[in-house]
Amino acid sequence: MDDARMEVVMGLIMHGGNAKGQAFQAIQFAKEGKFDEAEGALKLANEELKAAHDVQTDMLTKEAQGEHTEVDLYMVHGQDHLMNAITFRDMAIELIELMKRVQKLEG
């Protein structure tokens, strides 16, 4: 694998992993009732997802321009990290909203 492809794959993995980690941190803050901190962690997760999405969009743009991207296990792994991070972030948002409702009802 050449350096350019490795950079793309590592961008997907790194930003996806960072996003998932921030979403997990957001859930932990919410469990402690620290909803402002949870929202901050979700904001950071979204920034990481945008960075990963930018890497993916660049790759898709090149594909549309006729520059074929070889799909191998590394690329699949990188895409898997990104999709899992998106799903995890979405679930974190829902969990945090539920925790806010529970706190309000218990309050």
Annotated active-site residue 53? The verdict is: no
80 known member of a binding site: yes
Reported as half-sphere exposure (CB side, CA atoms, 13 A), residue 85 has a value of 29
Please list, in sequence order, all residues whose beta carbon lies within 8 angstroms of the beta carbon of residue 7, skipping any fewer than 6 positions away: none
Give me 52's structure tokens: 């990963």
Active-site residue, from 15, 53, 77, 81: 77
Q: Are 30 and 96 in contact (CB under 8 A)?
A: yes
Q: Are 94 and 32 in contact (CB under 8 A)?
A: no
Q: Which amino acid is at 91?
A: M
Known binding-site residues for Mg(2+) equal: 80
- Catalytically active residues are 77
